[in-house]
Amino acid sequence: MLSAQLKEFTETEHQSLEKALVRRIKAIEEEEDYLLIIKNFLGYLKPIELLTDKSVDLHRMPDYPHRRKTALLEDDLAKLSRGAFTELTVCTKLPEISTHEQCLGALYVLEGSTLGGKVISKMIVDKLGSNRGTAFFNSYGENTFHMWNSFKLLLDQDLTDSQQGEVLHAAKDTFACFKAWIDEQN
């Protein structure tokens, strides 16, 4: 099954990104620190989402519009900055996402972040004493596991070896580019 292959194939990049993010989250001392993390997420995910918008096959993934998350990040950013932010630095070193299969690979990273989002949200609330600005990390609420499992079913449909390769490499590249972006923002 491709979903299991993805986990193994991207393990190194996933762990590397996770360590960098957890280190940043543990360093939060005030709301401004968290605001920078939200800006970093939005600066990476916004251009990724624009690429997935162009490459997704809505016939094969009709729930895609519900899986878009940059609006949640924008809402979190507006709440945290009280509408005062004016400039957002956007990542330009992005993975190639021009086919539906590459879109699936990128979405593997974004959809998987909803699972970690539950833990991240708790860490942020513990640090700041408030859940203000955590909508992105709680994007599916109680439906998180249902949405993840339905996404895995999409991944595990019949794909050619070539299509599976596109998914695998796009996921690996999406993790690696995100990690490079986070490192660049420090």
Query: Which residue stretches of the chain have pLDDT < 70?
Result: 83-86, 186
24-70 residue pLDDT tens: 999 999 888 999 999 999 999 999 999 999 999 999 999 999 999 99
Read off φ and ψ for residue 68, nearest 5 degrees. -70, 135
CATH number of the domain at 2-185, out of 2.120.10.30, 3.40.50.970, 3.40.50.2020, 1.20.910.10?
A: 1.20.910.10
8 A C-beta contact, residue 179 and residue 20: yes
**What per-residue confidence (pLDDT) applies to 133?**
87
Asked if residue 175 lies in contact with residue 13, where contact means CB atoms within 8 angstroms, the answer is: yes
Question: Looking at residue 73, what is its pLDDT?
Answer: 93
pLDDT of residue 165: 97
Q: What is the model's pLDDT at position 166?
A: 97
d(CA 164, CA 86): 40
Closest alpha carbon to 25 in 123, 125, 126, 134: 123
pLDDT for 139 equals 92
